[in-house]
Chain A
């Protein structure tokens, strides 16, 4: 046991670097996913059939073909096919972005649809342009609806980052794996790793709950501080019909 922790101390710079890679992949991957969610989600609400169609096909494709395959495709197949190679971390970011962006598009589409039609009508009655209606009336209300589902998606994305280990991207898992193989302290290593991801997941949940509270406050809805600590992973996963 003490062997494990002394090795951990020795290798602390690698572990810290690994943690940094994990965070980088999580943050950049989810930013790309967020961008794609909005692009594809807004396209899904277009009046034009071809625009809707493109969004539908892209979403179904990236939801249907397993994140794992997408990551491996980018890492192994793309260099072979195109001669162009992404760094492992970039492979991860792109794969996470595409896959979770496709799920996020459904969240955006659903949230926009959930804003009462009366709000749209009131905006029409005030002669707002379609863009103005979306930006100032529909989207701010839809956004509040999206946050819990996005929280869920963010945690899912974080939980997918150990895949980076498989494409040798030197993430947190890679670093701890290394210590495990050096010390042979299997149980300690994995429990510690799980605990680390658990802490990260809770920290992200807390941040997202703060964001949600701020967004709700803008709608004049006040929530107690107790809700901040609430884990959102489960309830929204259930309501999103397994939108993972």
Chain B
């Protein structure tokens, strides 16, 4: 599993190779650079995620983990390099000659279809009740029938253990409850890839376990590909098949949780784990 951090080097002909060989990863970062002014956050980053894989990104704060998720969600633009999702460039459009240029809003919306995100601060819409938070996008973005969307929203609320809060305002919920709604909201869009950005960091300690348990269930019972940035090492160990250790905008090492947590190759990883565990 540690092998596929080796980048694939043929961006030009990466027409979806799915089905035939199964080697084409679902997500591939190809020499991705992210700069803010002079500050380099991601430095020619290469890594891949296979379909159905649950990947945890760990590393000291400021190492660029969250930036990776934000780039995937097209909340930020790459400074250089290309992100490939399911064989297509995420935030680039192909010119007729095969070269790439930054994508417009229309294509970005096409790219976002596959991807959902749960935020550290939940970011529920305070002007909508819980049910509408979940149904708003399915109805108005996916064009789902309202009735169908509401039925599904209720199922999802059931799943996250909040069936009693259908008509509540987000402001009436605890942090943990809000985060569960946010998870249901993301799932309602049926994403292929779910990005989880430190989803438990803003929660009171006693609420963390419940949310993590829920995410574990989702990981086990769905085929959604998950990328998590987290400081919860137990979660990384229990849920993910692959852990990527980041530092200074690069992947220091990657491997199975057992390998990373018990026998890391790099001193930097050991330092980090000693500090957090």
Interface of A is mostly: helix
CA–CA, A122 and B127, complex, Å: 13
Picked from A122, A124, A132, A218, the residue with its CB within 8 Å of the CB of B112 is: A124
* Neighbouring A residues of B137 by C-beta, 8 Å: 126-128
Residue of A nearest to B116 (CB): A125
- List the interface of chain A (C-beta within 8 A of B): 118-119, 121-130, 132, 136-137, 140-141, 218-221
Among B88-96, B166-174, B268-276, the stretch in contact with A: B166-174
Contact at B172–A136, with CB atoms within 8 Å? no
- List the interface of chain B (C-beta within 8 A of A): 73-75, 105, 109, 112-113, 115-117, 119, 121, 123-129, 136-137, 140-141, 168-172, 185-186, 189
CA–CA, A126 and B186, complex, Å: 7
CA–CA, A122 and B181, complex, Å: 13
* Neighbouring A residues of B115 by C-beta, 8 Å: 125
User: Could you name 21 residue pairs across A and B whose Cβ atoms are closer than 8 Å?
Assistant: A118-B119, A118-B121, A118-B123, A121-B119, A124-B73, A124-B74, A125-B73, A125-B116, A125-B186, A126-B116, A127-B113, A127-B137, A127-B141, A128-B137, A136-B140, A137-B127, A218-B127, A219-B127, A220-B168, A220-B169, A221-B171
Picked from A121, A126, A219, the residue with its CB within 8 Å of the CB of B141 is: A126
With A220-B169, A220-B171 already in contact, the answer to whether A127 and B123 are too (CB < 8 A) is no
With A219-B127, A220-B126 already in contact, the answer to whether A126 and B121 are too (CB < 8 A) is no
* Neighbouring B residues of A132 by C-beta, 8 Å: 140-141
Picked from B74, B113, B125, B186, the residue with its CB within 8 Å of the CB of A119 is: B125
With A126-B185, A127-B189, A128-B140 already in contact, the answer to whether A219 and B171 are too (CB < 8 A) is yes
Contact at B186–A128, with CB atoms within 8 Å? no
A120 → chain B closest CB, angstroms: 9
With A121-B75, A129-B109, A220-B172 already in contact, the answer to whether A141 and B119 are too (CB < 8 A) is no
* Neighbouring A residues of B124 by C-beta, 8 Å: 122
A17 → chain B closest CB, angstroms: 42
CA–CA, A121 and B125, complex, Å: 11
* Neighbouring A residues of B171 by C-beta, 8 Å: 219-221
Residue of B nearest to A142 (CB): B127
* Neighbouring B residues of A219 by C-beta, 8 Å: 126-127, 169, 171
* Neighbouring B residues of A123 by C-beta, 8 Å: 125
Known: A119-B123, A219-B127; 9 extra A-B contacts, CB below 8 A, are A118-B119, A122-B119, A125-B115, A126-B186, A127-B141, A137-B125, A137-B127, A141-B126, A220-B170
CA–CA, A122 and B125, complex, Å: 8
CA–CA, A220 and B121, complex, Å: 18
* Neighbouring A residues of B136 by C-beta, 8 Å: 126, 136
Contact at B127–A125, with CB atoms within 8 Å? no
B113 → chain A closest CB, angstroms: 6
* Neighbouring B residues of A118 by C-beta, 8 Å: 119, 121, 123
CA–CA, A128 and B142, complex, Å: 9
A144 → chain B closest CB, angstroms: 8
